[in-house]
Structure 1
């Protein structure tokens, strides 16, 4: 199980009342909510291995160099236009809680992983691509991770929590294909290509003017690769693309030439884990965990987490 940590703790912050505080009055709603989410996920899915994946760079240079508009509107000091739950300017009441929840993970013995110069999506994509033994379940509220789903060996699935854990959707190639009208045989790759054409304002991705989601899905469904699709823009003899669509894409040819590495989730990041990713049976640092429980008043959440970890580990 690969957790998109930032995606989860933002949702915990906005989903749990700020009135949930520590004994000293410090808000710990994100800590409580995040810990409860991890406990529930472990209890329900019982993974053999678990990694909380981190954003070590939320706006990587290689993506900005390719497309300067990438997340430009989220740069601190600039107007915030991203949807609720995903701003990169961490709210004042959330920022101090992130180190606390990371300490809880460390004391509990749950591995965290990151890669310098990459986003959590890339960490998840890389670890999923590396896996050779266990089925992979990524957990995120980020639609970009729909592109990693696979029916390969082992299979990769996304538990999409964009509407909260209670309304989570388990997505594989069949579900992504049905949801977006892309070919099932290459649903993940096709979803990424559809996103390139459609665009995504929350990421500063302009897309191709005049091409919406349905048209984008139809276009990518006629080609086997992105390279093949882009080549067809300059080939009037290729009947898989109508003159009207070709005209729209031709006007955006400079964008089409650079957008692929911006949207594709990396599978070759140099991911570093802080510890072995086996599901812990016992806390890595029980004394430190007790200190955190007492200082922040999170006994019930930590108890649920430990119970879930122990039950899951014993069932393996």
Structure 2
């Protein structure tokens, strides 16, 4: 089997698991375990179906990095539950999910899944760095469109998109992005910058939506070229669009840096973090089975163990 590295946008997946699996699934003491179960089932299915040989659970060491907020203060501001002085802001997370995150991390560690984060960076940046450095095919598993910028058929990087649920997974390639958005993956950062993204607190350029952004990029190629044309009355760009681009100048100076995932973090290699998939044995297997019983994780642990056993 040829090597295939699977990179999980872990928070995206456990949020999806939390909302996709009934919260009536609980431990005896009433602690919900639906997100834990759902995530383990996702991993068992994904690694098997897409024939991953290596797996990294990429982690948000800071879901709202200070350097991104310094550039665009509204970045993810609507998700802040509590601002912390001299520390990372606390994200608004359902109470029932907060209680499960430490267990999610512990179960993944016991199962031998590599977990990697980076100080003051998001999981997206960890994913971007591993995708850029990979010497094999890469599958990025996420429900966020931000990571479409990484899609690259030539280098065998694709996205397994979970936004429509695990029953409707979408395999995103160059062709899919061109068909859906009318831009190339290499233009996706400029496209996202222009149209904005309310879910991330990115305002975009007022008056320029998805269709106009795609049309402009089809004609001019890059945001930089669009901005150059906006400063030239003879460029052929309409006065209305030139005015809108000019008015958004301060935002356009910084937004591409915010939108672009970091490709060059100083991270240990997949081999160094133990990303290779293998059966869980010995004390670790005993501990997983104990956790399964104590935390009512049921068949989810069984299915994960069976999936990993196939790598013997």
1:152-204: CA deviation from partner (whole Å, max 9, x where unpaired): 23x1000110111111110011100100111xxxx223122111111111111
1:83 aligned partner: none
Question: Is the 2:277–2:308 contact (alpha carbons within 8 Å) kept by the matching residues of 1?
Answer: yes
d(CA) in 2 for partners of 1:268, 1:231: 29
- Cα distance, 1:25 vs structure 2: 2.5
Q: How far, CA to CA, are the matches of 1:72 and 1:26 in structure 2? A: 29
Distance 1:139 1:5 in 2: 8
1:234 has 2:231 as partner: yes
Shift, 1:294, TM fit: 2.1
Distance between the aligned counterparts of 1:110 and 1:27, measured in 2? Answer: 22
CA distance in 1, matches of 2:152, 2:193: 20
| Residue 135 (structure 1) shift | 0.7
Residue 262 of structure 1 and its aligned partner are, at CA, apart by 0.7
Q: Partner residue of 1:81?
A: none
The CA deviation at 1:235 is 2.4
Offset of residue 226 of structure 1: 3.0
Encode CA deviations 1:190-232: one digit per residue, 9 max, x unaligned: 1221111111111111111110100001111223333333222
**Contact 1:107/1:283 (CA < 8 Å) preserved in 2?**
no
Q: 1:226-280: CA deviations, max 9, x gaps?
A: 33332222222333x3332111111111111111111111111233578311012
Q: Write the distance in 1 (CA, Å) between the matches of 2:210 and 2:288.
A: 47
Distance 1:169 1:19 in 2: 28
Task: State whether residues 108 and 283 of structure 1, in contact with CA within 8 Å, keep that contact through their aligned partners in structure 2.
Answer: no
Q: Distance in 2 between matches of 1:77 and 1:109?
A: 33
**Are the counterparts in 1 of residues 31 and 99 from structure 2 also a CA contact under 8 Å?**
no
Describe the shift of the 1:150–1:101 C-alpha distance in structure 2 as closer, same or farther (beyond 3 A). Answer: same
Which residue in 1 is equivalent to 2:204?
207
In structure 2, the gaps of 5 or more residues are 1-5, 84-89
In 2, Cα distance between equivalents of 1:55 and 1:77 = 17
Deviations 1:73-95 (A, max 9, x none): 211159xxxxxxxx931111111
Counterpart contact for 1:232–1:238, Cα < 8 Å: yes
CA RMSD of aligned residues (A): 1.8
Select 2:273's aligned residue among 272, 275, 283. 275
Q: Which one of 114, 120, 144 corresponds to residue 117 of structure 2?
A: 114
> Are residues 1:40 and 2:63 paired?
no
Shift in Å, 1:287? 3.2
Q: Quote the offset at 1:283 in angstroms.
A: 4.2
Corresponding residue pairs, total:
298
Length-normalised TM-score, structure 2: 0.91
How has the CA–CA distance of structure 1 residues 291 and 39 changed in structure 2, closer, same or farther, with 3 Å as cutoff?
A: same
Larger RCO (alpha carbons 8 Å, 6+ apart): 1
- For residue 45 of structure 2, give the secondary structure of its aligned residue in structure 1: helix
